[in-house]
């Protein structure tokens, strides 16, 4: 199958962090592994994007960066759109994203490859997109990229691995002695003299994430977080906000959810982090087994290709 993927106008694979760019690149590699031909379009010129798609003559086009949803009516091939916008399930925090991008979904009503059932519910209830146009299509992770150890070197440490910004809220938790931070800083409230490890690039992440006891992600909005799946693959349990639970089995003892009304109770948060870390350090095999379902090849076989086939069949009919 020939598939065109439209991404942000940024280098793919990314030179630095770039979560969406990493996801697109890893998806391409996994699709290639399964015998599919992939065209990545990461340029700023909409006319050139359409021309390049028409030259490629794909079986399917995936707008995997919803700023480009306006191209949907001009694409003559079976097509679907995915959003990675962190506040997609929090309309009150959308800001200018709503008129600029989200409202176009209401007008265009495209096929949607939603990263979670919650995201698809937003499109159904707010954009009035019918069920037949909504497909669950979660992200995946590259299992083979990560070093994994049976016992972490830093079993008494937790890591908050994310861009240090207002959405991630790292500055709230800096009094927790065993919590360490990695990511580029854009929040002036954060004190880099406290447990700050600098910015991690992908190769360093792949090699060193396994050294920590567990991962913390307490943001106030997420779509389907890549770093959570990366934590599982490296053998770490997770302590997350209620906004970061997409596609997770919350019955697992190595997944701890902090309710939003407890997020400012630092004593409670610290207690949960330590309890989760103690369990996770001693149950890595369970975590690693759970991580296998997120492997990109499995995700593509179980969701992506079947969804594409349904869209193609629907368009033919």
SS (H, E, C) 2-63: EEEEECCCCCCCCCCCCHHHHHHHHHHHHHHHCCCEEEEECCCCHHHHHHHHHHHCCCEEEE
Compute the average pLDDT of residues 280-294.
Answer: 98
Residue in the block written with tokens 């480009």: 68
pLDDT at 13: 86
Whether 14 has a pLDDT exceeding 90, the answer reads: no
**Helices 226-233 and 284-291 sit at what angle, rounded to 10 degrees?**
130
**Segments making up each domain of the chain, as ranges:** 2-140+295-316, 143-294
Compute the average pLDDT of residues 277-297.
Answer: 98
CA geometry: angle 253, 196, 161, nearest 5 deg: 40
pLDDT at 19: 82
Peptide bond into 161 cis (omega under 30): no
pTM for the whole thing? 0.95
pLDDT at 284: 98
Cβ-based neighbours of 213, under 8 Å, separated by 6 or more: 152, 154, 155, 156, 157, 158, 236, 237, 277, 278, 280, 281
Q: Which residue has the higher pLDDT, 23 or 316?
A: 23
pLDDT at 17: 65
CA distance linking residue 273 with residue 257, whole number of Å: 10
CA distance linking residue 223 with residue 118, whole number of Å: 9
Q: Let me know if the fold of 2-140+295-316 is the same as that of 143-294.
A: yes
129-154 per-position pLDDT tens digit: 999 999 999 999 999 999 999 999 99
Compute the average pLDDT of residues 257-263.
Answer: 98
173-202 per-position pLDDT tens digit: 999 999 999 999 999 999 999 999 999 988
Whether 16 has a pLDDT exceeding 80, the answer reads: no
Compute the average pLDDT of residues 283-290.
Answer: 98
Whether 126 has a pLDDT exceeding 90, the answer reads: yes
Compute the average pLDDT of residues 95-122.
Answer: 98
Q: How many CB atoms lie within 10 A of CB 302?
A: 16
179: tokens are: 């919590």
Q: Which phi and psi angles does 62 have, rounded to 5°?
A: -115, 110
What would be the CATH architecture of the domain defined by 2-140+295-316? 3-Layer(aba) Sandwich (3.40)
57-77 per-position pLDDT tens digit: 999 999 999 999 999 999 999
Query: Are 210 and 234 a contacting pair, CB within 8 Å?
Result: yes
pLDDT at 98: 98
CA distance linking residue 21 with residue 13, whole number of Å: 6
Q: Which CATH class is domain 143-294?
A: alpha beta
The overall average pLDDT reported for the chain is: 97
Whether 39 has a pLDDT exceeding 70, the answer reads: yes
% of the chain surpassing 90 pLDDT: 95
SS (H, E, C) 131-196: HHHEEECCCCECHHHCCCCCCCCEEEEEEEECCECCCCCHHHHCCCCCEEEECCECCCCCCCCCCE
């Amino acid at each position: 199958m020939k598939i065109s993927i439209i991404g942000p106008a940024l280098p793919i694979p990314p030179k630095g962090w770039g979560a969406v760019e990493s996801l697109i690149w890893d998806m391409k590699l996994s699709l290639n592994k399964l015998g599919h031909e992939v065209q990545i379009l990461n340029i700023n010129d909409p006319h050139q994007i359409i021309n390049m798609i028409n030259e490629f003559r794909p079986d399917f086009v995936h707008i995997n960066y919803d700023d480009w949803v306006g191209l949907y009516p001009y694409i003559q091939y079976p097509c679907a759109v995915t959003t990675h916008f962190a506040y997609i399930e929090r309309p009150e925090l959308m800001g200018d994203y709503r008129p600029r991008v989200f409202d176009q979904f209401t007008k265009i009503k495209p096929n949607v490859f939603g990263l979670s059932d919650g995201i698809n519910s937003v499109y159904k209830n707010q954009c009035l997109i019918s069920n037949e146009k909504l497909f669950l299509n979660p992200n995946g992770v590259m299992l083979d990229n990560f070093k994994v150890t049976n016992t972490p070197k830093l079993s008494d440490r937790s890591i908050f691995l994310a861009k240090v910004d207002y959405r991630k809220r790292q500055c709230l938790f800096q009094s927790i002695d065993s919590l360490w931070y990695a990511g580029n800083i854009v929040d002036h409230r954060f004190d880099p003299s406290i447990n700050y490890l600098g910015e991690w690039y992908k190769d360093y992440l792949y090699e060193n994430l396994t050294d920590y006891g567990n991962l913390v992600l307490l943001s106030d909005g997420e779509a389907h977080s890549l770093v959570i799946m990366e934590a599982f693959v490296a053998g770490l349990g997770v302590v997350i906000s209620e906004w970061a639970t997409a596609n997770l089995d919350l019955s697992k003892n190595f997944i701890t959810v902090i309710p939003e009304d407890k997020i400012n109770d630092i004593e409670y948060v610290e207690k949960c982090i330590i309890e989760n870390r103690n369990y996770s350090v001693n149950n890595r095999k369970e975590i690693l087994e759970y991580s296998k379902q997120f492997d990109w090849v499995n995700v593509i076989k179980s969701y992506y290709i079947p969804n594409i086939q349904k869209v193609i069949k629907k368009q033919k009919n």
